[in-house]
C-alpha cells in the first residue's frame, strides 16, 4: 500500500534558527497537505499543494511540492516558540472507494529553545 | 459552528469492556474518518465514511466497528477493549472529495483512551 515517510522524526532548534521537514511518498500524489499539531492538541490544516513544483508561502512558512509529485517539504524561517509542535504531511489515496483517504507521515516533532 | 466534537475527552476501560466514542460535525461534510495516534506512528486511519450509510475500513480496523446513519454523526465502537487500543483517537471530517477536489480535514479535539 501507499507509504508516506517523513524526516526527521525530531528536530530541536534554537529560537531564530531555520527548520525543514521532508516528506516522501511511495506513489505519485494528486496533492499533498500539511498539518500542525500543538502539544496536547489536534491536527490543524495548514495548506494543500496540487501542482507539480508548486511553492506556497504563509508568512515564515514555505511549502514545496516536488516536480514528480512524490515529495514535499516545509521550511520555517527564523523559528519562534509559537512554532513548537508536530508537523504532518498527508497524501490522498487514489482510485475507487479509497478516493479521498489520507495517508499521514509519522510527523516531525519540533522543539524550539528560547 | 461547533465544528467537529468528540466525547468523551478521557476514558479508562478495563480489558474486555466495550464502549462507543462519539463524533459529530455540523459542517454538512460528507466525508468522516477515525484515526488513532500513537507515539512515533503518526495518524493511522481506522475507518472512514464517504456519506450516510457508507463505511469502509482503513489501515487498522480490527477491534473497531462504525456506522453512519446520519451525515452529522460517526460513532466508533470498541467491541472488546484491549491494552493495545490505548491511544488518542481523533475524528475528522471533510468536504466531499468527489465533487470539491478539496481534501483538507477538520479534526475534533480527540479522546484519550487508556485500557488497563
pLDDT tens per residue, range A86-104 = 999 999 876 544 556 788 9
Residue A62 clears pLDDT 60, i.e. is over it: yes
A 37-56 residues inside an 8 A Cβ radius of B? 41-45, 48
Q: Kindly state the DSSP code that residue A1 receives in the 8-state scheme.
A: -
Q: How far B87 CA sits from the closest chain A CA (Å)?
A: 13
Task: Measure B103 CA to nearest chain A CA, in Å.
Answer: 7
> Is the Cβ of A59 closer than 8 Å to some Cβ of chain B?
no
**Integer-rounded Cα radius of gyration of chain A:** 14
**B61 at the A interface (CB within 8 A)?**
no
CA nearest A71: which of A20, A13, A9, A5? Answer: A5
Place of cell 460528507: B30
Query: Among all residues of chain A, which has the CA nearest to that of B94?
Result: A100
Residue A3: pLDDT band with limits 50, 70, 90: confident
Mutate to test the interface with B, among A33, A95, A104 (most CBs of B within 10 A): A104
Given this model, what pLDDT does residue A60 score? 98
Q: Does the beta-carbon distance from A31 to B103 stay under 8 Å?
A: yes
Helices (H) and strands (E) in chain B, counts: 1, 11
Give the per-residue pLDDT at A2: 75
Percentage of chain B exceeding pLDDT 70: 95
Chain A CB contacts of B33 under 8 Å are 101-102
What would the mean pLDDT of B73-80 be, rounded to a whole number? 97
**Pairing relationship of beta strands B31-38 and B42-51 according to DSSP bridges:** antiparallel
B113: Cβ contacts below 8 Å, ≥ 6 apart: B10, B11, B12, B13, B21, B78, B85, B86, B87, B88, B89
Amino acid at each position: 500500500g501507499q507509504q508516506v515517510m517523513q524526516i526527521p522524526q525530531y528536530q530541536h532548534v534554537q529560537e531564530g534558527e531555520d527548520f525543514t521537514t521532508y516528506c516522501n511518498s511511495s506513489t505519485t500524489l494528486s496533492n499533498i497537505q500539511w498539518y500542525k499539531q500543538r502539544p496536547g492538541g489536534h491536527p490543524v490544516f495548514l495548506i494543500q499543494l496540487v501542482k507539480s513544483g508548486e511553492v506556497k508561502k504563509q508568512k515564515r512558512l514555505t511549502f514545496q511540492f516536488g516536480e514528480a509529485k512524490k515529495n514535499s517539504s516545509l521550511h520555517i524561517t527564523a523559528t519562534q516558540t509559537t512554532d513548537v509542535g508536530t508537523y504532518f504531511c498527508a497524501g490522498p489515496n487514489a482510485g475507487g472507494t479509497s478516493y479521498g483517504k489520507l495517508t499521514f507521515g509519522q510527523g516531525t516533532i519540533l522543539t524550539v529553545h528560547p | 459552528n461547533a465544528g467537529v466534537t468528540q466525547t468523551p475527552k478521557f476514558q479508562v476501560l478495563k480489558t474486555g469492556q466495550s464502549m462507543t466514542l462519539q463524533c459529530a460535525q455540523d459542517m454538512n461534510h460528507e466525508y468522516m474518518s477515525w484515526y488513532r495516534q500513537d507515539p512515533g506512528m503518526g495518524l493511522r486511519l481506522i475507518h472512514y465514511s464517504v456519506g450516510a450509510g457508507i463505511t469502509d475500513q482503513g489501515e487498522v480496523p480490527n477491534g473497531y466497528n462504525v456506522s453512519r446513519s446520519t451525515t452529522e454523526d460517526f460513532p466508533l465502537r470498541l467491541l472488546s477493549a484491549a491494552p493495545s487500543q490505548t491511544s488518542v483517537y481523533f475524528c475528522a471530517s471533510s468536504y466531499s472529495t468527489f465533487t470539491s477536489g478539496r481534501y483538507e480535514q477538520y479534526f475534533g479535539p480527540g479522546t484519550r483512551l487508556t485500557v488497563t
